Structure 1
Amino acid sequence: MARKPAPHERIAVLGLGRFGGSLALELTFQGWEVIGIDADPRPVQAHADALAHTAVADTTDEEALRQLGVHELTNVVVGIGTDIQASIMTASLLTDLGVPHILAKALSPQHATILRRVGAHHVVLPEQEMGERMAHLVTGQILNFIQFDDDYVLAKTRAPEAVIGQTLADMELRGTYGVTVMSIKRPGERFTHTTAATTIYAGDMLIVAGDPRSVQAFCTLP
């Protein structure tokens, strides 16, 4: 008999549009038992074979969520796409049900603010974040870009020519550029942690941390 997954291994994704559907499939791939719920039967039918459980239900209906056991889960995602009212009402209902970890998709900063006010613990703005990410990548100097907060990012970049041949101590990065080089990768090697004595050579790949403007300025040095 198969072991029943622990509560933290089960998750409900409410809204199976492009965002919610993709997330549900990825979570399934990672080994989670996913309950996919949507008011529209079409995406539910489309994901029925891939997800552990699917249901057509109104996510703003408390009784419907209780019948599906959503209130018993540790993690629930509000992935509702275009219906902002339903998104907010669903997040608020999950808060009332005492769900410990509510993740929600927002369509705008204002939407995100309201979701947080009604109890969502983590809010993402996929379109905005992807736009910002692409804007940083389009220069060609930044190869990867992750923003953790408004004033803190990590970027993967090729070593700018301006710093070739210098040690991190010589460059005084924090004072001069307002950034920290966290890791370095020589050609053909793996990333390793840096020290003050680390010298930057041509062809090195760097992981740089700091506020977005400072990181952008450092990565695009001539």
Structure 2
Amino acid sequence: MGDRRQQRNRPVLVVGLGRFGIALAEQLIAQGKEVLAVERHRGLVQKYSDTLTHVLEADATDIEALRQIGADEFDSAVVGVGTSIESSVLIAVNLVDLGVKHVWAKAINPTHGKILKRIGCHHVIYPEHDAGVRAAHLVSGQMMDFIKFDDDFAIVKMRPPKDLQGKTIDQCQPRRRHGVNVVGVKSPGREFVYAQPDTLVSPGDTIIVSGDVTKLEHFAESA
């Protein structure tokens, strides 16, 4: 248990302070993580020196520069560089060669992502694509939030469809009728509760639903 807690509290190396990198670094810090940010452009280093606890000016495409800042001592590193595929790949392969256990990297397209995976990058992120998919679901229906996982499985936050309003989960039978599971219900002014067969769903509630993406879309369209 102690080892797991120690792993969660280990610092994270973030390379590149563009919009993605700075948002990531700030969120990690907000979650109580210690972050070392590395940026090659002096202006960005100066800009965020007061916002981030540890910011260093270095060229991460140079493996010796990474060694000098102790990159090989990190378990997790994120490559936020996306505008230059060459730089992104060089930084990622340097981190892999240094033995960083978990290297995350931003990819701007599938080809970029394929290269990153081929060189040994452990996790590839497509922030623009993922944001576009999420936004499409939010603007086209009743969904308030949308998180997709592998194999077309997703969890969504949404307003309850009319045939759920004023009824219990057992009366609505969302799994049998729609192929989705109502995981929880949040009523205004009340705490979130895990859905039980006798949980009543009111018109003003927010519900958390899981299931196949296509079935969730049909379920949301019935709202």
TM-score bucket (shorter structure) = 0.7 to 0.9
Q: How many residues align?
A: 218
Aligned to 1:43: 44
Structure 2 counterpart SS, 1:197: coil
What does 1:59-70 align with in structure 2 at a 5 Å threshold? Answer: 59-70=60-71
Range moving further from structure 2, 30-39 or 82-91: 30-39
1:6–1:214 CA distance, 2 compared to 1 (3 A): closer
What does 1:191-206 align with in structure 2 at a 5 Å threshold? Answer: 191-206=192-207
Structure 1, unpaired ranges of 5+: none
Deviation for aligned residue 1:19: 0.9
AA aligned opposite 1:90: I
Structure 1 counterpart SS, 2:64: helix
Aligned to 1:159: 160
Q: Contact between 1:8 and 1:73, CA under 8 Å: does it hold in 2?
A: no
Deviation for aligned residue 1:144: 1.4
Distance in 2 separating the partners of 1:32 and 1:99:
17
Range moving further from structure 2, 210-219 or 185-194: 185-194
Distance in 2 separating the partners of 1:47 and 1:76:
19
Distance in 2 separating the partners of 1:167 and 1:49:
52
Range moving further from structure 2, 198-207 or 133-142: 198-207
Q: Does 1:89 align with 2:104?
A: no
Structure 1 counterpart SS, 2:86: helix
Aligned to 1:210: 211
Distance in 2 separating the partners of 1:53 and 1:204:
43
Distance in 2 separating the partners of 1:177 and 1:109:
33
AA aligned opposite 1:12: L
Distance in 2 separating the partners of 1:109 and 1:174:
35
Aligned to 2:169: 168
Distance in 2 separating the partners of 1:107 and 1:119:
17
Deviation for aligned residue 1:14: 0.6
Q: Contact between 1:186 and 1:204, CA under 8 Å: does it hold in 2?
A: yes
Range moving further from structure 2, 92-101 or 20-29: 20-29
Q: Deviations over 1:66-105 (max 9, x none)?
A: 0000111111110002011211221122111110111111
Distance in 1 separating the partners of 2:89 and 2:97:
12
Structure 2, unpaired ranges of 5+: 1-5
1:156–1:85 CA distance, 2 compared to 1 (3 A): same
Distance in 2 separating the partners of 1:41 and 1:164:
56
Distance in 2 separating the partners of 1:68 and 1:8:
19
AA aligned opposite 2:15: L
Distance in 2 separating the partners of 1:90 and 1:187:
47
What does 1:69-148 align with in structure 2 at a 5 Å threshold? Answer: 69-148=70-149
Deviation for aligned residue 1:170: 4.0
Distance in 2 separating the partners of 1:36 and 1:201:
46
RMSD across aligned positions (CA)? 2.3
Q: Contact between 1:7 and 1:74, CA under 8 Å: does it hold in 2?
A: no
1:30–1:199 CA distance, 2 compared to 1 (3 A): closer
Deviation for aligned residue 1:17: 1.0
Aligned to 2:18: 17
Structure 1 counterpart SS, 2:90: helix
Range moving further from structure 2, 78-87 or 193-202: 193-202
AA aligned opposite 2:138: L
In percent, how many aligned pairs have the same letter?
Answer: 43
AA aligned opposite 1:114: I
- Greater than 6 Å deviation, 4+ residue runs: none
Deviation for aligned residue 1:116: 2.5
